[in-house]
Amino acid sequence: MPVPRKVVRPRRLKARRVTPAGRYGPALSVVLILPLLCLFALGFLYPIARLVLISFGDGAPNFDQYRRVFETPLYLGVLLRTISAAAMVTVFSLILGYPVAIAMARAKGRIALVIAAAVLIPLWTSVLVRSYAWIVLLQRSGLVNALLTESGLVASPLKLLYTDGAVILAMTHVLMPFMILPIANALRSIPPDYARAARSLGAGPATCFLRVTLPLSLPGVFAGSVMCFILAIGFYITPALVGGPEAMTMATLIAQQTTVVLDWPFAAALSSVLLLVTLLAVAIFRRALSISKGLSSVA
């Protein structure tokens, strides 16, 4: 009798998990992002942690430096002046920059190139150069005072330099591109059919802007406002040059405490307070953005 052959069953191959194109596994992702995490920890988290520890003193932790900030009228006034100046710079940048953003988003051809150059070329110029330009314009023998005296509007040159108004004006000029670019990007993402549909339903230009264009551009408005406020609240070069010692801000006060007075614990406390105000402002802007999105979706 023929011997029956042993039936060999084919081995089941283990199904491989195919990684979609453009994605990496968890282990490879950790390896790729590890240098960035190390750089972030060494260049950002560690200095901030050291700064906060220095603000509490060398011995037992205490809040003497923070009490000094909030109990001394001079330092509290500098903090409030810095916050109010940053808020005014943000508002002026929004008022002056929104029309430019609309023109930048809707223009075409050579006009679009001219508007983009007018926005980007000052952004590429050094902040130091732009601040010195305002010194030339606002000094007693500068162009602004010369025009005012020659036209007969004032009898003698005005004190325009080294004032809070000069600081706000110069900072608005420096930070306005950071407001224009996010708003222009948000306006470009709005389909033009929305405005045409609103106009066809009887909405006028003002109603179309208030009910369609402005709500849809709010993400760009909030992004530009956050960048302007955060940069303005910690700005150093422009307030130091244009404002001088009479228009002191938190940045110039911190620099004075570290380079002149050499009071590092107090400077660390001032920096920590400024960081806390910045984080609080970011949280408020994010909350306002989420509320505006909810209202727009309901509408």
Q: What is the CATH number of the domain that holds 183?
A: 1.10.3720.10
Structure tokens at 179: 């407001």
Give the span between the Cα atoms of 168 and 228, in whole angstroms: 12
Q: Do the domain assignments include residue 283? A: yes
Cα–Cα distance list, 264 to 57, 253, 256, 258 (Å): 10, 12, 10, 6
Q: Give the three-class secondary structure for 95.
A: helix
Burial (CB count <10 Å: 0-12, 13-18, 19+), residue 17 = exposed
DSSP letter for 61, please: -
Q: Do the domain assignments include residue 30? A: no
Q: Do the domain assignments include residue 19? A: no
Give the span between the Cα atoms of 178 and 88, in whole angstroms: 15
Give residue 92's pLDDT: 95
Give residue 16's pLDDT: 55
Q: Do the domain assignments include residue 222? A: yes
Number of structural domains the chain divides into: 1
What are φ and ψ of residue 244, in 5° steps?
70, -165
Give residue 11's pLDDT: 59
Give residue 61's pLDDT: 76
220 Cβ neighbours under 8 A, 6+ residues apart: 101, 182, 183, 184, 185, 186, 187
Residue stretches of the chain with pLDDT short of 50: 21, 298-299
Q: What is the DSSP string of 165-225?
A: HHHHHHHHHHHHHHHHHHHHHHHHTS-HHHHHHHHHTT--HHHHIIIIIHHHTHHHHHHHH
Q: Do the domain assignments include residue 55? A: no
Angular region, 72: left φ>0, alpha ψ -120 to 50, beta rest:
beta
Full-model pTM: 0.81
Give the span between the Cα atoms of 249 and 86, in whole angstroms: 10
Q: Do the domain assignments include residue 257? A: yes
DSSP letter for 155, please: S
User: What is the per-residue pLDDT across 288-298, written as a single tens digit (0 to 9) for each?
Assistant: 777 766 555 54
User: What is the per-residue pLDDT across 74-113, written as a single tens digit (0 to 9) for each?
Assistant: 899 999 999 999 999 999 999 999 999 999 988 888 898 8
Residue 180 structural domain:
63-298
